[in-house]
Amino acid sequence: MHKQALIPYLLLLGDSALIQGQRLCEWCGKAPALEEELALMNVGLDLVGQARNWLEYATELLDDGRDADALAFRRDERAFRNLLLVEQPNGDFAVTMLKQFLYDAWHHAVLEGLAASADERIAGIAAKGLKEVSYHLRRSGEWVQRLGDGTEESRRRMLDAIPVLWRFTVELTAANDHEVQLAQAGIAADPAHVARRWQATVSALFASVELPLPKAASHFYLDGRQGLHTEHLGLLLAEMQFLPRAYPDATW
């Protein structure tokens, strides 16, 4: 019974990390400073590595001959289960760092819960990833503070970024039946606890630099967990998947 619920949950974790990592790697050659470019690429590579761990577990449960690379590069848009937030365009540096922070706050809370999972495979992956994501959250939070409490221009850009991204945060505090079922079995992170941790982390940081905290998002007409995405994911996948699809038998 848990297997059918676990597969989409693993895809949620793996796809979200993969797509966020891909977005960060789009900054290669475009970041505002060399040090920031290296940091963005390192975070992106961390997330891609975590995505592989989750997707490899998913392929074992699917048991249909596909490997993690096939899930990453051969699935169509509607088969992805990532959060809507991570597929949104990078925008300017303020949008990128706010998006990273909102995702990191959710990701950190989820991995904290998963580190105590009754599934030893999940607990091991989460414990390893938590060390990386603790750094990700600290770094993105510092950038939100720096931009929100910096110059007039940096604060304006951070204020502009909030309404661009906030509507997609509804998925960070909501859960579907699969996640509730897995949490009750001690396998997944408790969605209610994750929501409280996310809200507390975001509220505290926004208050520290007097950024306005919008009302909690309650509904959005799309749902990444169900494969209903914004138009941005298809464009991202067209670029990310081009070579493996054009040359399916190529090897390095």
Average pLDDT over residues 149-165: 97
For tokens 């970024």, the residue is 161
What's the pLDDT at 24?
Answer: 97
What's the pLDDT at 178?
Answer: 87
Find how far residue 87's CA is from the centre of its chain: 9
pTM value?
A: 0.96
CA quadruple 202, 196, 169, 212: dihedral positive or negative?
A: negative
**Distance (Å, rounded) from C-alpha 47 to C-alpha 136?**
10
Query: Which candidate, 145, 167, 42, places its Cα nearest to that of 98?
Result: 145
Find how far residue 102's CA is from the centre of its chain: 9
Write out 81-143 in H/E/C secondary structure.
Answer: CCCHHHHCCCCCHHHHHHHHHHHHHHHHHHHHHHCCCCCHHHHHHHHHHHHHHHHHHHHHHHH
What's the pLDDT at 3?
Answer: 81
User: Who's near 227: CB < 8 A, 6+ residues apart?
Assistant: 77, 78, 79, 80, 81
Terminal-residue alpha carbon distance, the chain: 39
What's the pLDDT at 232?
Answer: 98
Question: Per residue in 34-47, pLDDT tens?
Answer: 889 999 999 999 99
CATH architecture of 2-246: Up-down Bundle (1.20)
What's the pLDDT at 231?
Answer: 97
pLDDT more than 70, % of the chain = 99
User: Who's near 148: CB < 8 A, 6+ residues apart?
Assistant: 154, 155, 158, 159, 206, 209, 210, 211
CA quadruple 196, 200, 201, 203: dihedral positive or negative?
A: positive
Helix (H, G, I), strand (E, B) or coil at 223: strand
The pLDDT confidence band at residue 218, using thresholds 50, 70 and 90, is confident
The strand pairing partners of 223, in sequence order, are: 228
Query: Which candidate, 116, 108, 110, places its Cα nearest to that of 205?
Result: 108
Each domain of the chain, given as residue ranges in start order, spans 2-246
What's the pLDDT at 126?
Answer: 98
User: Who's near 13: CB < 8 A, 6+ residues apart?
Assistant: 50, 54, 110
Higher pLDDT, 247 or 198: 198
Question: Per residue in 75-84, pLDDT tens?
Answer: 999 999 999 9
